[in-house]
Chain A
Amino acid sequence: MTAMAVPLGWYLGLAAALFVIGLVGVLVRRSLIVMFMSIELMLNSVNLTLVAFSRFHGTLDGQVMAFFVMVVAAAEVTVGLAIIVNLFRLKASSDADDVDVLKA
């Protein structure tokens, strides 16, 4: 494979776009689970940047970082969903706006 056929900037641009879509997803959607998925998307976009830089720099550190991100993401999902389930037990709804106990 020729080195860097596609310039680094593009990958970063794509990752940025994905990240932004994830962010908007979190802010816009009311269902907790979809929000959660958007978070996963954001994490993935970060991984993409890491990997892109890894190739760009010619070292594998980026990829290892991405790997660890994946592990953490997995842990996060398990706990996150457990919370969502509990929340559902409590409020019988997974709508983020129903949970406003902390309202001042």
Chain B
Amino acid sequence: MTTTIATYTGVYGMPEAGSAIDLAWLIPVVPAVSAAVLLLIGKRLGRYAAHVAILAIGFSAVASTIAFTELLALPEEARSVISPVATWLEVGDFEVAWSILIDPLAAVMLLLVTWVGLLIHVYSIGYMEGDERYSRFFAYLNLFAASMLVLVLGDSFLTLFVGWELVGLSSYLLIGFWFEKRAYATAAKKAFVVNRIGDVGFMIAMFLVFSATGSLAFAEVLPMAPEIASGTAVAIGLLLLVAAAGKSAQIPLFVWLPDAMAGPTPVSALIHAATMVTAGVYLVARVSPIYATVPGVGLTVAWIGVATALLAALIACTQNDIKKILAYSTVSQLGYMFIGVGLGAQVAGVFHLLTHGFFKALLFLAAGSVMHAMADETNPWKMGGLRKVMPITFATSLLGWLAIAGLPPFSGFFSKEEILVAALDPPGAQGIWVIGTIVAGLTAFYMSRWFFLIFLGPKRYEQELPGVHPHESPPSMTLPLVLLAVGSAAGGLLNATPASLLRFWDPETSFLSSFLAPSVVPYYGDTPFIPHVPAVAIVTAVAVAGVAAAWALYLREGVDHVALRERLGGFYQLSYQRFYVDELYEATLERGGRGLANAFTTFDRVVVDGAVNGIGRGVAGLATVGRRVQTGYVRSYALAVAAGTVLLAAIFLGGLLNGQG
């Protein structure tokens, strides 16, 4: 039985003048302006560049919070507000304007982006200290924040798309920030191009939406969603899935995220954990009315999500790079969010998005702090026993680890359970619940491996190595860690009912569900929790088992890892080599593309140009034939004259004869 809470009203009101919502267009503009300023005169600001950037993002954070409170004050059904700023494109019957849409979904995303962004800006002061392009880093961070805010506040597919591509640009700039190393530059290009492939899906979807509804603005398109022909709706849904897969690194297009670790760690934390990668999830949630009309497509989204989650989790178990492990973990957790939004449990998806934002950013920053202390060492096998040396990082990472492992009462448990519970009812989704549970176990395993190898266990690093002076990071780095740790721990309360932790899912009372209701269309409905207590128990048990397995393997002495690897043999290699996905793409797309390009280039040079020059040579050839007639001998000329005479005589005579005859 599916119960829908507050139905999707599709009513979009106007903000009253002067309110924070009305001035909401400043939220993205201020960081954009500050980015421009930093780019132009950043060098002269030196250290103060960071402060300018932090001020800008701080303003956006405060403004977002005020807007959030104002939105809360509004009555529940009037919470979708559009404030137009200026017309942008008006061509023939196609018309799009720059305007801001603030509704519960956008407000929640605003808070995540701005506050996590602020924390990471602060964190970057310490992390990026001494970098020769210090000011440019903060300029790019602000540019990213501005783009993400444009994406979140976009009121139409097109304005969202503008943010979508600008976010791709800023991630290109940030991944390739240390472009001196060719590998990092290639990673940046790879990210941009793979995003671009997703964007093509987005554009075609926009064409379909426009030709079906005559407009691209959400306010007009979403209420008309049920009227769109189902064939078109399916196409739009799938194409948007391609777009989301490109941006949120799902199965076919996830290859760029692990390479994106080439960027500085704060970038990985902000962009590749908390904000940008969640854009795909936000998009699917935002367009839920369209997905509601074709649940089948939602199921495909969910299956893509769970498949990605499983694949990424398997790969993460054997990686020997603390950032790569986190990267694959992000891909995996994004898979979870896709399950949520795919199965119509958008609230669960967004909830996991928020909690993931907290604990994944925390883990990345912790990894950054560890690398900062260990001269950018990323191999966990060269660390260990950092518990005593870096207490704050250890404590905060502990909370982060518990949250992501999905152990109660931390935030990860609540959000992951909600998603898995949502997978119980919809037809054909039970399989997803099973795989989801396995992935939960795997997640617990590799995250515990990550945590144990770095912080617990024997010291596996030499003291005297140059630059290796494990010590606690400066307060500017540890303060964000602590705040994020609080978020990871308490995040669960966002959607937990105050009544009792066990009955923690009561749609009416839990804060997030009721708050997000007006802007999403949950088509499979949120089933009450009670009948699923056993399911939740199983998942938690599997998670605990994962932790235990990691403990057994990595903390107990005398475990011969080398022998273990032989026994695992093929599986180990398969997972370690990332299922050879990169090599597959390399062989097919790159080599194929390059081959085709070469073929066309030679075709162009040989055939097309050949034809042109051929004509030239042809005419020249004709000339030489003509030349040969001039033999130079007077008698051959005489012969020609004679032949002419005979011809003329014949013609003349013929004329006379049949004239007379």
Contacts and interface: CB of A to CB of B under 8 A. Distances in A.
Determine whether A and B are in direct contact in the complex, meaning some CB atoms lie less than 8 angstroms apart: yes
Interface of A: 23, 26-27, 30, 35, 96-97, 99-104
B657 to A, nearest CB: 15
A47 to B, nearest CB: 18
Contacts of A27: 635, 638-639, 642
For the complex of A and B, 7 pairs with smallest distance between CB atoms: A103-B632, A100-B632, A104-B630, A104-B627, A102-B632, A96-B634, A96-B635
B628 to A, nearest CB: 8
B633 interface: yes
B639 A100 contact: no
Interface size class of chain B, counting residues whose CB lies under 8 Å from the partner chain: 10 to 19
B633 A96 contact: yes
B632 A101 contact: yes
A82 B512 CA distance: 121
A102 B635 contact: no
B631 interface: yes
Contacts of A101: 632
Contacts of B628: 104
A14 B467 CA distance: 122
Given A26-B638, A97-B635, A100-B633, 15 more contacts: A23-B642, A27-B635, A27-B642, A35-B635, A96-B633, A96-B635, A99-B633, A100-B631, A100-B632, A101-B632, A102-B630, A103-B630, A103-B631, A103-B632, A104-B630
Contacts of B631: 100, 103
A35 B641 CA distance: 15
A97 B630 CA distance: 13
Contacts of B629: 104
Interface in B590-645: 627-635, 638-639, 642
A101 B630 CA distance: 11
B633 A97 contact: yes
Given A23-B642, A104-B627, A30 B632 contact: no
Contacts, number: 31
Nearest to A39: B638
Nearest to A24: B642
27 contacts: A23-B642, A26-B635, A26-B638, A27-B638, A27-B639, A27-B642, A30-B635, A35-B635, A96-B633, A96-B635, A97-B633, A97-B635, A99-B633, A100-B631, A100-B632, A100-B633, A101-B632, A102-B630, A102-B632, A103-B630, A103-B631, A103-B632, A104-B627, A104-B628, A104-B629, A104-B630, A104-B632
Contacts of A102: 630, 632
B149 to A, nearest CB: 79
A101 B631 CA distance: 9
Contacts of B630: 102-104
A44 to B, nearest CB: 18
The residue among A99, A100, A102, A104 with the most chain B CB atoms within 10 A of its own CB is: A104
B256 to A, nearest CB: 67
A101 B628 CA distance: 14
Contacts of A96: 633-635
B561 to A, nearest CB: 88
Contacts of A35: 635
Contacts of A23: 642
A30 B634 CA distance: 10
A97 B635 CA distance: 8
B506 to A, nearest CB: 103
A99 B627 contact: no
Contacts of A30: 635
A21 B411 CA distance: 121
A27 B634 CA distance: 9
Nearest to A29: B635
